[in-house]
Amino acid sequence: MEQMVREEFECPSSIIKYLPGRYYACQLLAAKSWKPSELTPGHGKFTTSRRIDGCLAPVQIHVPKGSILDPSDNAAVVGGNVQTSQRVVDVVLKAFRACAASQGCMNNITFGSGSWGCYETVAGGSGAGPGWHGCSGVHTHMTNTRITDVEILERRYPVHVRKFMLRPGTGGTGRFRGGDGVLREILFRAPVTLSVLTERRVLQPYGLNGGGPGARGLNLLIRADGRTINLGPKTAVPISPGDVFQLHTPGGGGYGCEQDDQDFQHPGNARTNASLGTFVERGSVFEYRQGQESV
Helix count (H) and strand count (E) of the chain? 6, 11
Q: How far is 220 from 230, CA to CA, in rounded Å?
A: 5
Q: Residue 263, exposed/middle/buried by CB under 10 A (0-12, 13-18, 19+)?
A: exposed
The pLDDT of residue 24: 72
Regarding whether 187 and 48 lie in a shared domain, the answer is: no
Alpha-carbon Rg for the chain, nearest whole angstrom, is 20
Regarding whether 123 and 90 lie in a shared domain, the answer is: no
pLDDT tens digit sequence for 255-288 = 999 876 554 444 444 443 444 444 556 666 666 6
Answer whether residue 288 is part of any domain: no
Answer whether residue 267 is part of any domain: no
Residue 162, domain extent: 99-260
Regarding whether 127 and 70 lie in a shared domain, the answer is: no
In b/e form, how buried is each residue of 67-96, taking b as 16+ CB within 10 angstroms? ebbbbeeebeeebbbbbbbbbbbbebbbee
Contacts of 2 (CB under 8 A, 6+ apart): 71, 72, 74, 75
Answer whether residue 284 is part of any domain: no
The pLDDT of residue 288: 63
Regarding whether 108 and 234 lie in a shared domain, the answer is: yes
Domain end point (choices 51, 69, 98): 98
Answer whether residue 286 is part of any domain: no
Regarding whether 221 and 211 lie in a shared domain, the answer is: yes
The pLDDT of residue 45: 45
Answer whether residue 237 is part of any domain: yes
Regarding whether 108 and 72 lie in a shared domain, the answer is: no
Answer whether residue 228 is part of any domain: yes
In b/e form, how buried is each residue of 128-156, taking b as 16+ CB within 10 angstroms? bbbbbbbbbbbbbbbeeeeebbbeebbee
Regarding whether 76 and 186 lie in a shared domain, the answer is: no
The pLDDT of residue 87: 82
The pLDDT of residue 62: 78
The pLDDT of residue 223: 97
Regarding whether 46 and 176 lie in a shared domain, the answer is: no
Residues of the chain with pLDDT under 70: 1-23, 30-56, 80, 144, 260-295
Regarding whether 107 and 38 lie in a shared domain, the answer is: no
Domain end point (choices 47, 67, 98): 98
Nearest partner of 249 among 110, 107, 149, 43, judged by Cα: 107
Structurally, the chain folds into a number of domains equal to 2
Cα 17 to Cα 29, 88, 221, distances in angstroms = 16, 10, 37
Domain end point (choices 98, 121, 154): 98
